[in-house]
Amino acid sequence: MRIIICGFGVVGQSLVKLFESRSDELYTKYGFKPRVVAVFDSKGSAVEDAGLNLKKLNDIKKQFGTVKNYSKSKNTMNGIDILKNVDADVLIETTASNYKDAEPGMSHITMAMKKGMHVVSVNKGPLALAFPSLMELAIYNQVMFKFSGTVGGGTPILDYAKNSLKGERITSFSGILNGTTNYILTNMGTGVSYKDALKDAQTKGYVEADESLDLDGLDAAAKLVILANWIMGMKVTMPDIDCTGIRKVTSEDIKKASKKNCAIKLIASCDEKLTVSPKEISKDDPLCVNGTLNAIAFTSEHSGTQTIIGKGAGGIETASSILRDLLDIRQEIGKN
């Protein structure tokens, strides 16, 4: 399988490490032999039709901060140039999520689909702003569009709701979909001020470069859009979400909630309305997880409420979700 990777940060590098360390197992167990033919990052690219040397690729990125030094010619092609000029079966889109216009991810995904390439995306921007039209484009071009890593990182939240609850009608769901805000609110629950809890989260690298994505609930809202469309069959985008972040949560609010045996969590919910806002949750509720964990509770017509808990982010966890999606694509291609 010939693969193009657009974006080569922590997730892209972790994926390449997975390919390298598990190559024999992937081939013997699944008949899957990934051949990365092009990689693009913000400063340049590396291209080789026969397949890039994965160890060298990661070493070059580590040494120079870009893959453009992979060859002596120092390739400066961007993602669009690569998609125009390099033949591949699958695009893996891992560039940063952008909730203003979803670029450059949106252009990468649409161009790949029009060229007949399957797409795996962990970039939430295009899905948050244009989920319905991207699904239509994939169907029209008869390609597969996978995005299990956009919600829950390595925790298979989307797969669980779609496959494990087959035959059930999910009537509502709610959950903690952003590990950063959960970490901050958990720390505030131990008496730490909002300012200090935020600083600690930033020091540990949990907060996005644009902190508003976490603190104003935009990341959680994007994930809510993806869940509502994929699981509930809605046709919604980011402007349909009533979104409030955690900036106004005070230590006093936390203490008041604690007296009622509750904790304040940033909850994304799909019930009669689509909302993201801080809410009081009973400490006995399975949804009330701490630290950077994510948790989501699905309520269905006959089997009641089921909660799935797991790590919401992390390079290797998200890379494992991409690998899952690639193996699904490999299986579907095999069937056809």
Phi (first) and psi of residue 31, to 5 degrees: 65, 30
The structure tokens listed for 140 are 């029209």
Task: Name the residue with tokens 């909302």.
Answer: 275
The tokens for 86 are 């390099």
Cα(first)–Cα(last) distance of the chain, in Å? 15
**Is residue 223 annotated as a catalytic residue, yes or no?**
yes
Quote the tokens at residue 73: 């010619």
Q: Which stretch of DSSP H or E encloses residue 189?
A: none
Measured CA to CA, the distance from residue 10 to residue 323 in angstroms comes to 15
Tokens for 331?
A: 């299986």
**Helix H segments across the chain?**
10-21, 23-30, 54-64, 79-85, 105-114, 124-140, 157-159, 179-188, 194-203, 212-215, 218-232, 251-259, 315-335
| Contact (CB, 8 A) for 129 and 197 | no
Instruction: Say if residues 266 and 278 touch (Cβ distance below 8 Å).
Output: yes
Which residue of the set 100, 223, 248, 273 is catalytic?
223
Q: How would you class 42 by CB atoms within 10 Å of its CB: exposed for 0-12, middle for 13-18, buried for 19 or more?
A: middle
Q: How far apart are CA 270 and CA 175, in angstroms?
A: 9
Please name every residue paired with 91 in a beta bridge, in sequence order, or none if there are none. Answer: 4, 119
**Distance between CA atoms of 79 and 163, rounded to whole angstroms?**
33
- What positions carry a catalytic annotation? 223
